[in-house]
Chains A and B, each alone.
Chain A
Amino acid sequence: MPCKNCSINPVIELPNSNVNLCKNCFIKYFESKAFKTIRQYNLLEDSNSIAVGISGGKDSLTVLYILNKIASTRKNLKLIAILIDEGIHDYRDITIENAKRFCKENKIELKIYSYKDEFGKSLDEFLKIMNDRKIKLKACTICGVFRRYLLNKKARELKVNKLATGHNLDDEAQAILMNQFKGNIDVSARLGPITGIIKDKRFIPRIKPLYFLTEKEVATYAFLKKFVDKYCECPNAEESYRIAVRDMLNEFENRYPGSKHAIINSFIEILPNLKEKFKNVNSIKDCKICNEPCSSDVCKACELLEKLR
């Protein structure tokens, strides 16, 4: 079946439909869907400065490109890319080069912060300590906590209004299921196209312009735009809970197409209720060690650092 608009060879069959699109029609469709999410959820409201958390991979470079398209038409909107270098040999060093090339080509300011500089050790070094001392923690747990901590801290120091990430529909569907499976419904209340339930100046609101686009759609867009040269997978990814949920969900989607969209659409319906229910659950405190905002006496990052010292 050819492209539904112009009858030439298609590059993608849109999920949940029999609609095929060619390269040009798909690019228009993709961008208009991202722009619609930004408009519908007011993702850029009251914003003159946006930080974009990037890794050098397809999702984050795509969201950076989309926001840069908007910034190029708005003189009062400034973009800064932030990259967190965890220090993962043969992985992050490769994607950093890709991120640097991309930002240079698109004339976007790039700031790089490393675990080594901020926490004293790289992730590879932390993993060695864990292995030597038989500390049972997963690499993704450490990374998730440290990366979130640094992204928020650095975005705040850069005085931006929002922090954009490349999370797509698949990422969000996985997060929703993970929270369901683990009974962390209060954590789900923080999800959505714009995150957070507690208003605090020290937490920079996070926005997800690719929220309603599938991982395959993002990969197709990034491929057509030639954002990434080659596939690169984190050597620590295999052991994560998320990967297990991702593979299960992909298998399920293959058998029952539309499942991922159904998860997101039903979640969006109940999200306002979740946010309302959990808005007063945790009051914001100051971490006794680093002074960063958190829900306990000591923040998760400092708690982990204590264990790994």
Chain B
Amino acid sequence: MKIDIFIERFNENKSVELKENSRVKDLLRELDISSNTVLVTVNNNLVVDTTALNDNDQVKLLSVVSGG
């Protein structure tokens, strides 16, 4: 399935192909991003790592780390 992602920290949009029944944690692993460094929204709802993803979900990764 195809997931559209916006990575806020880098102001970057990208798409990722994942296996069916993938979860947020699979997406983060694919992107090599630590779960404790981002908040994840799916279709504008804050979710947890075990939330299931669906085809064409709009995912945003919001940076948790302080801006300095």
Q: In the complex the two chains form, is A236's CB within 8 Å of B68's CB?
A: yes
CB distance from A134 to the nearest CB of B (A): 24
Instruction: Please give, as numbers and ranges, the residues of chain B lying within 8 Å of A215 by CB-CB distance.
Output: 36, 64-66
Instruction: Please give, as numbers and ranges, the residues of chain A lying within 8 Å of B46 by CB-CB distance.
Output: 11-12, 23, 220, 223-224
In the complex, B55 has a CB within 8 A of chain A: no
From the candidates B8, B36, B45, B64, name the one contacting A254 in the complex (CB within 8 A). B36
In the complex, B3 has a CB within 8 A of chain A: no
Instruction: Please give, as numbers and ranges, the residues of chain B lying within 8 Å of A20 by CB-CB distance.
Output: 48
Size bin of chain B's contact surface? 20 to 34
In the complex, B62 has a CB within 8 A of chain A: yes
Q: In the complex the two chains form, is B64's CB within 8 Å of A253's CB?
A: no
Q: In the complex the two chains form, is A250's CB within 8 Å of B34's CB?
A: yes
Question: Given known contacts A11-B46, A12-B48, is B67 in contact with A251 (CB within 8 Å)?
Answer: no
Output the nearest chain A residue to B34 by Cβ-Cβ distance: A254
Most buried by A among B35, B39, B68: B68
Contacts from A to B (Cβ < 8 Å): 1, 9-13, 15, 20, 23, 57-59, 91, 95, 140, 171, 214-216, 219-220, 223-224, 230-234, 236-237, 240, 246, 250-251, 253-254
Contacts from B to A (Cβ < 8 Å): 8-9, 34-37, 39, 45-50, 62-68
Closest 6 CB pairs of A and B: A234-B68, A237-B68, A254-B34, A233-B67, A219-B64, A11-B46
